[in-house]
Amino acid sequence: MSLVESVQNIFRVPELRKRILFTLGLFAIYRLGEHVPSPGVDAAALAAAFSQQAGTLFGLYDIFVGGAFSRATIFALGIMPYISASIVLQVLGAVVPYLEKLRKEGEEGQKKINQLTRYGTVIISLIQSYAYGIFLMSNPGGVAVVPDPGPGFLLTLMITQTTGTMFVMWLGEQITERGIGNGISLIIMINIVGRVPTAVQATIESLRTGTLSLFAVLAASVLAVAMVAFVVVLTQGTRKIPVQYAKRIVGRRMYGGASTHIPLRVNTAGVIPIIFASSILIIPATIAQFFPESSVAQWVQTNFSPHRNGVWEVLYAMFIIFFTYFYTAVVLNPNDLAENMRKYGGFVPGIRPGKKTAEYIDRVMTRITLVGAAALALVAIVPDFLFQVMNVILFAGFGGTSVLIVVGVALDTLQQIESHLLMRHYEGFVRKGRIRGRR
For the chain, what are the domain ranges?
1-195+411-439
pLDDT tens track for 262-277: 888 888 888 788 878 8
> CA 74 to CA 156: how far, in whole Å?
11
Of 341 and 169, more confident: 169
pLDDT tens track for 135-156: 888 777 667 788 888 888 899 9
> CA 316 to CA 304: how far, in whole Å?
11
Q: Is the whole-model pTM more than 0.85?
A: no
Tell me, what DSSP letter sits at residue 37?
A: B
Tell me, what DSSP letter sits at residue 346?
A: E
Dihedral of CA atoms 201, 207, 211, 214 in degrees, nearest 10, equals 130
351-378 burial, b if ≥16 CB within 10 A, otherwise e? bebeeebbebbbebbeebbeebbebbbb
Per-residue pLDDT at 433 exceeds 60: no
> CA 219 to CA 212: how far, in whole Å?
12
Long-range contacts of 51-58 (CB under 8 A, 24+ apart): 51/141, 52/140, 52/141, 52/289, 53/140, 53/289, 55/282, 55/285, 55/305, 55/306, 56/282, 56/285, 56/286, 56/289, 57/279, 57/282, 57/283, 57/286, 58/135, 58/286
> CA 246 to CA 344: how far, in whole Å?
9
CA distances to 278, 320, 326, 383 from 377, in Å? 11, 6, 15, 10
Contact in structure between 10 and 435 (CB atoms under 8 Å): no
Nearest of 408, 383, 413, 347 to residue 182 by alpha carbon: 413
pLDDT tens track for 386-427: 656 655 555 555 566 778 888 888 888 888 887 777 776 555
Mean pLDDT, the chain, integer: 79
3-state secondary structure of 270: coil
String of DSSP letters for 197-252: HHHHHHHHHHHHHTSS-HHHHHHHHHHHHHHHHHHHHHHH-EEEEEEEE--EEETT
Per-residue pLDDT at 368 exceeds 60: yes
Per-residue pLDDT at 283 exceeds 80: no
Torsions phi, psi of 195, nearest 5?
A: -85, -10
Note the CATH number of domain 1-195+411-439.
1.10.3370.10
Residue 18: CB atoms within 10 Å: 13
Q: For 21-30, 171-180, 337-346, which range has the lowest pLDDT when averaged over its residues?
A: 337-346
Contact in structure between 36 and 12 (CB atoms under 8 Å): no
pLDDT tens track for 285-300: 667 666 666 777 677 6
Band of residue 53 on the pLDDT scale cut at 50, 70, 90: low
Per-residue pLDDT at 351 exceeds 50: yes
